[in-house]
Amino acid sequence: MKVMVVDDEKDVQFLFQQKFRRELKQNQIRLDFAFSAQEALEYLQNNQTNCLVLIIADINMPGMNGLELLKILKQNFPHLKVFIITAYDDEQKHQIAREYGADEYLTKPIEFDKLKEKILSL
């Protein structure tokens, strides 16, 4: 299963690679990373998306934020699951994420055991 993580903080790549080390070694999951919403959209426009199952996007990013990305993704790539991650449990943003079609809304710090269960059940 191919998953893309979209977050402007580059250390997220190392964190996800460590937390999913076993799943990566067993080829249960493949992680790709984009460090902005724009980079993620460019990737999707230039590559086949049929093997990509899930996008995990942070809300707070410079330029286009994760909610704007979510809206575009659900309009143009409706087959993709999208999990939104935020450091702040903001009810208004949670409501917007639901309206835009987020499949999950997660707060930091990420509970990786629960995240793994959700991903592997897709």
**What is the number of domains present in the chain?**
1
- On whether the CB atoms of residues 16 and 31 are closer than 8 A, the answer is yes
Residue 98 has pLDDT above 90, yes or no: yes
What is d(CA 50, CA 65) in angstroms, rounded to the nearest whole number? 24
CATH number at residue 97: 3.40.50.2300
Per the DSSP assignment, residues forming a β-bridge with 86 are: 107
Residue 47 has pLDDT above 90, yes or no: no
**Residue 52 pLDDT class (50, 70, 90 cuts):** very high
Per the DSSP assignment, residues forming a β-bridge with 104 are: 83
Residue 3 has pLDDT above 90, yes or no: yes
Q: Which domain holds residue 56?
A: 2-120
Give the pair of three-digit tokens for residue 76: 């143009």
Provide the b/e sequence for 81-120 (b: ≥16 CB within 10 Å): bbbbbbeeeeeebbebbeebebbbbbeeebeeeebbebbe
3-state SS class at 6:
strand
pLDDT confidence of residue 112: 97
- Estimate the crossing angle of helix 37-46 against helix 66-76, to 10 degrees: 20
- On whether the CB atoms of residues 66 and 9 are closer than 8 A, the answer is no
